[in-house]
A and B are shown apart, each in its own frame.
Chain A
Amino acid sequence: MTDPLLEVDDLHVRFSVAGGGLLGTGRRMLHAVNGIGFSLAKGECLSIVGESGCGKSTTALSVLGLQEPTEGTIRYRGQPLTGQGAPGRMQRAKAVQMVFQDPYASLNPRQSVRTSLAAPLRLHGITAASEIADRIEVMLASVGLTPEQAKRYPHEFSGGQRQRIGIARALILEPEIVVLDEPVSALDVSIRAQIINLLLDLQEKLGLGYLMISHDLSVVEHMSDRVLVMFFGQVVEEGGWRDIFERPAHPYTRRLIAAIPDPDAALNPGTKDHFADAPLPAGRSFAFDGSTAPDIFSAPPPSELVEIAPGHRMRLVPVV
């Protein structure tokens, strides 16, 4: 097996938030991410799923260097991306890029498509006008836009086209890892399919590693190789897509799956709420079932990810 592109180990992110007191007294620590670890290989799509506030976006921002982790390490090809000896923004930019959720807020309204794509190239030392023009043309073609569209401004494009421009911008520096933050959830259904197809094509063509953040399990099932289910800052279950969607073991994962608004299940009730219960390893139980929210202002109680099948792990606590 090849070395992973990205390794995240025991990532913790805590924020200091104002408490109830006057003048900022009573500040408390919000535990947003509590010990997340994963690795991402070339050409692989790893998805982090969970509901709002589960820490999936914070994890992605840490990988992008937009959020300093409190503890833990993030390595790209074995080199640390955080802490001491971390590369600057310039080097990191060639490793990790991001596609944003909202195609309307993710493009600078005062920059033409060409400017948005040429500026990063120039910043990274490509100054020959002909090379810049070539690379922009190739990039636009590979996301399904024409070279003539380069001189237009964002407001002249539809949501789907804007998302294509956002993808082009993320890929123009030829990164190996792309963080996809809910890449299709703001788009219309028919456009969604086009963008999903495009993302899968580009992944295959360029061997990209995708780290996808999503709450849409149908999209996650369609695109992912491996899946991490997060609940209040912790991974509660992780595994290959078949493990998670065909044999979900953790009650929270099952709740998520049961909640998918899915036409087939709605019209043929009972198809997806009957998963066989795998026996829990002796002496352990679920840390939580996802029906009650834990206290986000204190560190979670000790628990561990236990392997229940090769590559399929879930969070359990020892029974006392």
Chain B
Amino acid sequence: MRLGFNFWLGAGLTTLVILAGILAPWIAPFDPVLDADLMNSELPPDSTFWFGTDGQGRDVYTRILYGAQISLTVGIVSQVINSIIGVTLGMTAGYWGGWWDDLVNGFTNVMLAIPPLIFALAVMAVLGPGLPSLLIALGLTNWSWTCRIARSSTLSLKSLGYVQAAQTLGYGDLRIMFTQILPNMMGPILVMATLGMGSAVLSEAALSFLGLGIQPPFPSWGSMLTDARQLIQLAPWVAIFPGLAIFLSVLGFNLLGDGLRDSLDPHMRTRTP
């Protein structure tokens, strides 16, 4: 399998975000919440505060490192929920067909017709703000495409000899789905999940920006942007660095997803004669 430059760039950016999140407690020079000092507020970047300080005098660099934890958690957990829902519905619909297929299709179409952010907003309004409800809201909104891909992959895999052979060998339906079908469609599902992580990070930022996501004083890239709104003229670094963090991590996830898609594409794989 040959992986291109984009894949490695994406993998590099993603690794950077992951390392930042994991190592934050050790590499961050300050505490993201407690080290507020109004004497130091709105300082431009210097050798002590690498990315400057915000309106309450907290180190932006520190808060971005801790914010990576939130973004990663949101990205990964919401995509795991999405993939489980999408694959379960799509695979069973494709495999069993009939009324179940019609029902799942109808449901998927309804979900696709609702703008995801509006749906997430509605869920958040019911569940209230906070990280757990954010995870649930984003986990419930983005499974439609995964479901469609799982369904169409299942339909094409179902007609292949090895799936029919498994049926004649006495395998049960669930066993066939998990041993014959699922492993052979993991490629596209993984790609969808990786691409979805990027949009989940964006959605988290948007919801936090609207005040529904992570509550202050805990740092999230989206809520940092909200705080930066009033300061953007006076202290642009307060907005620039969280924005850059969002941009680079979303770019990283998307490049990783594209790279994975290219490398998993059967047309780009060589078949030994």
B98 to chain A, nearest CB (A): 12
* A46 interface hit (Cβ, 8 Å): no
Which residue of chain B has its CB nearest to the CB of A181? Answer: B161
Q: List chain B residues, Cβ under 8 A from A101.
A: 161
* A120 interface hit (Cβ, 8 Å): yes
B-side interface size class: 20 to 34
Which segment of B19-27, B70-78, B165-173, B245-253 sits at the interface?
Answer: B165-173
* A66 interface hit (Cβ, 8 Å): yes
Leading 5 A-B pairs by shortest Cβ distance: A106-B161, A93-B170, A100-B161, A90-B170, A120-B169
Using a CB–CB cutoff of 8 Å, the interface residues on chain B facing chain A are 160-162, 164-172, 175, 179-180, 183-184, 271-273
Which segment of A5-13, A107-115, A230-238, A271-279 sits at the interface?
Answer: A107-115
A-B residue pair count with CB separations less than 8 angstroms: 75
Q: Given A98, A116, A158, which contacts B168 in the complex, CB threshold below 8 Å?
A: A98
CA distance A66 to B271 in the complex (A): 30
CA distance A158 to B180 in the complex (A): 21
Contact A120 B160 (CB under 8 A): no
Contact B169 A93 (CB under 8 A): yes
CA distance A92 to B167 in the complex (A): 10
Q: Given A88, A106, A124, A158, which contacts B165 in the complex, CB threshold below 8 Å?
A: A106
**A109-B184, A110-B184, A170-B165 given; 19 more Cβ-contact pairs under 8 Å:** A65-B168, A66-B164, A66-B167, A88-B170, A89-B168, A93-B170, A98-B165, A100-B161, A100-B165, A106-B165, A108-B179, A116-B162, A119-B179, A123-B169, A123-B170, A123-B171, A155-B271, A156-B272, A169-B169
A262 to chain B, nearest CB (A): 29
Contact A105 B168 (CB under 8 A): no
Contact A124 B170 (CB under 8 A): yes
Q: List chain A residues, Cβ under 8 A from B171.
A: 89, 119-120, 123
Q: List chain A residues, Cβ under 8 A from B164.
A: 64, 66, 98, 100
Q: Given B168, B179, B180, which contacts A96 in the complex, CB threshold below 8 Å?
A: B168
Q: List chain A residues, Cβ under 8 A from B160.
A: 105-106
Q: List chain B residues, Cβ under 8 A from A88.
A: 170
When A108-B180, A109-B184, A155-B272 are in contact, do A173 and B169 touch as well, CB less than 8 Å? yes
Q: List chain B residues, Cβ under 8 A from A156.
A: 272
B73 to chain A, nearest CB (A): 30
Which residue of chain B has its CB nearest to the CB of A94? Answer: B170
A164 to chain B, nearest CB (A): 14
CA distance A108 to B184 in the complex (A): 8
Q: Given B166, B168, B179, B183, which contacts A64 in the complex, CB threshold below 8 Å?
A: B168
14 contacts between A and B (CB under 8 A): A64-B164, A66-B168, A89-B167, A89-B170, A98-B164, A98-B165, A106-B162, A106-B165, A108-B166, A108-B184, A110-B183, A120-B169, A120-B170, A169-B165
